[in-house]
Amino acid sequence: MPPSIALIIYGSVTGTSVGRLFAAGLLPAIVIASILIAYCIVFSSIKGYERAPFPSLRQILVAFKDAAWGLGLPVILLGASTVASLLRPNRRRSPVYMACL
C-alpha cells in the first residue's frame, strides 16, 4: 500500500509524479485488502473459529495508559522542536523518527 519506496524510486528515475503514482497505487491496495478481509471472514466461518471477546472499558483504559508515553512521544518531540524553533521545518521529523527507532 502506498507510500512505497519502489514508487518513490520509480518516480524519481522516470520523472513521473510521485503523487500520481501514489494515487494510482491506492485502488489496487484497497482491492487487495478487501479480498484478504473477505478470505479471512470466509475461512474463519468455514473452520468454525470463534470470535475473540471484546475487551472491557477497563482493559482498554489500562492498555491506553500503558501506551500513552510511546504514542505521545512523536507529538511531544515535534511540538518541542516547533516551539523552540530548534530545527528548520523540513528537518523537524528526523528526531521523531530517531526516537521511535
Q: Are residues 58 and 100 in the same domain?
A: yes
Q: Are residues 63 and 44 in the same domain?
A: no
Q: What's the average model confidence in pLDDT over 17-40? A: 91
Q: Are residues 29 and 76 in the same domain?
A: no
pTM of the model: 0.52
Q: Are residues 42 and 62 in the same domain?
A: no
What range does the domain containing 38 cover? Answer: 1-52
Classify residue 91 by its DSSP letter: G
Task: Report pLDDT digits (tens) over 30-49.
Answer: 999 999 999 999 999 999 99
What is the rounded CA–CA span in Å between residue 28 and residue 10? Answer: 17
What is the rounded CA–CA span in Å between residue 17 and residue 80? Answer: 33
Q: Are residues 61 and 99 in the same domain?
A: yes
